[in-house]
Amino acid sequence: MGQPKLALAILALTTITGVLAQPTWCGKNYQSTQPITIPGGNFPLPITSTSPLLSLRCSQSIRPYLASDIPTPGGIIISTQLGYTQTVGAEPISLSGVGEGLWVTVSDVEGGKVLTEGYVPLNSTKFEIPFDLSALEPRLTPYNISCAATYPSSSSSPQAFTTTSTLTYLPDNPSGTVTKIDQRTGALLVKPMNAASSPSAEWESVFPIGFYTLWDGFLNGNLSALDGIKDAGYTVVHPVPPYDNVTAFEMVLDKMEELGLWLMYDMRWTYTNLTNVTTQVSTYSNRTNLLLWYTADEPDGWGDPLNATTLAYEAIREVDPYHPVALVLNCQDYYFWDYAAGADILMQDTYMIGINATWSNTWNTPCTPDYGDCGCDNCVGEYEDISNRMDEFAYRLNYLGWELDKSVWTVPQAFGNDEYWTRTPTGPEFLVQSILAINHGARGVIPWDYPTTSPINSSASLLSYALPTLKNFMLNPASTFENYNISRVDVGVWRLGEQSLVLGTNLNYEEVGVGFWEVGVWGEGVEVFGSGVEVGDGVFEFGSVGSGAWIFG
């Protein structure tokens, strides 16, 4: 994981007419013998408008819907964002209209049938309109839907806007599990692994936390390691391939099922071989603990073919439309559009601890936007590298019109003393990385890598045992969210009815106090977990890189 290791750098070389091409990372040359060349692949700079624009988006609330979901109603979420940035599909709107909302009609394009319609306020996000699933037949091919909106105008004709989306409504999976995505929150929804013997079991949200876990030298032939993983409170195991002993690998999967651990199946080394992809998916898609597939590991860094992730995604969906697909992107800005197209879940791995952000000791070269590799692409070596990367992902998904269809997870740094990284994070530093990303939208925490240090394991376990409480707020569509940054203390506040969840982390290596009033809570909070934080007289006293969570109300 991470940037090219000295031994692996050779693998990044490609042969062109018998001559080794220059290796790059994120499109950049990084060796002292290489010239500086502009890598390209940058995300489009925003184009602004002098008049307001409407970005109309629509998607199903939960993907996929299943035949057995009847009689529960389905839902279509609509966003009607106003702004001055020319995002994909944005259209001019005259706000001199006579109403404060739009009338939206959702139709099945193929059948011409109206599925639902309703009033949606202007500048709303993920506003839900119910619809009756029985209006459609479950099938393996997604439906194309049209969302047409009209805005009352003071002139004779109302303004009209249209966008399209797809709707996945599947027959029940004849074997194996189903993992849904609640696209209102980014949450994964699952049934218990024994649901086959209990068909009435309810769907429940899961906030995935668990490490990329080494196969060679750790999991292979070491089933007892899984007991320690379960005891630490982790919910997911991501074995790192290649799984060179199929019998041993299946024994590990059996043990994971026994313990109730979800599987994140990794096909990084073979995902560009679509025949191999199909074979792996056919082999493991009926596992009752399969949570999701993982295809590309830093394809932007390695410079994989730009369509590789999409081709793999389509090959997986052809065999298994019942589980989402994830990948991790490493570069700050290199062909995001192309690589991100091939996944439901995007992960970012911004490893900023222990680096020199401007000079590569590995290659003895500088690091700039056009050259060099310092272990964290275009970073400054501060925790804000993580929140900036999360915010950039969110902006780009919104720009592309994908914000309703894709969610983002984080890969905290749980290693060090290796190449670019002069030290391993402490336990509290691990929590800062994780909580900062969660406050900026991460809905899964999959650190690299395991086994890790005892302090990191203890801190990760602390967060794991808190997540069942935290997710009741974070993954509830009825919650509202606000993010505060007060003297480099990052605080997320989820409000649900009369209660508020406060999740805070101190990015400073010194104590900082944050008043309750500064984040809009009052009274006495109940601590969910704390690491280096004290509370008194209406103030959170965050110690050096301290973190904590409280429920108020």
Single out the residue of 456, 468, 500, 508 nearest to residue 482, CA to CA: 500
Tell me which residue of 417, 303, 226, 246 sits closest to 28, measured CA to CA.
Answer: 303
Q: Give, in order, the Cα–Cα distances in Å from 83 to each of 101, 120, 162, 274, 399.
A: 15, 17, 17, 41, 11
CA atoms of 519 and 529, how far apart (whole Å): 18
- Is residue 416 within 8 A of residue 434, CB to CB? The reply is no
Instruction: Report the amino acid identity of residue 321.
Output: P
At 340, list the tokens: 């991100």
Mapped onto helix, strand or coil, the DSSP state of residue 5 is coil
Sign of CA dihedral 331, 333, 335, 341: positive
Q: Do domains 48-170 and 480-552 have the same CATH topology?
A: yes
Closest CA to 404 of 55, 16, 52: 55
Contact by Cβ (8 Å): 258, 245: no
> Which DSSP symbol is given to 197?
G
pLDDT tens string, the chain, 553 residues long: the values are 655 443 333 333 333 333 334 489 999 999 999 999 999 999 999 999 999 999 999 999 999 999 999 999 999 999 999 999 999 999 999 987 667 899 999 999 999 999 999 999 999 999 999 999 999 999 999 999 999 999 987 666 889 999 999 999 999 999 889 999 999 999 999 998 875 556 678 999 999 999 999 999 999 999 999 999 999 999 999 999 999 999 999 999 999 999 999 999 999 999 999 999 999 999 999 999 999 999 999 999 999 999 999 999 999 999 999 999 999 999 999 999 999 999 999 999 999 999 999 999 999 999 999 999 999 999 999 999 999 999 999 999 999 999 999 999 999 999 999 999 999 999 999 999 999 999 999 999 999 999 999 999 999 999 999 999 999 999 999 999 999 999 999 999 999 999 999 999 999 999 999 999 999 999 999 999 999 999 999 999 999 999 999 999 9
Angle at 228 between CA 226 and CA 232, to 5 degrees: 115
Burial status of residue 10 (CB atoms within 10 A of its CB: 0-12, 13-18, 19 or more): exposed
The class that CATH gives domain 173-317 is: alpha beta
For domain 48-170, which CATH number applies: 3.90.1150.10, 3.30.1360.200, 3.40.50.2300, 2.60.40.2550? 2.60.40.2550
SS3 180: strand
Query: For residues 295 and 269, is the Cβ–Cβ distance under 8 A?
Result: no
Token match 């599987």: residue?
263
Q: How far is CA 84 from CA 50, 81, 544, in A?
A: 7, 10, 40
Give which of 512, 509, 508, 522 is closest to 550, Cα–Cα: 522
Domain ranges of the chain: 48-170, 173-317, 480-552
pTM: 0.95
- Could you give the residue ranges of the DSSP H alpha helices within 272-340? 274-284, 299-302, 308-319, 336-340
Quick one: CATH architecture of 480-552? Answer: Sandwich (2.60)
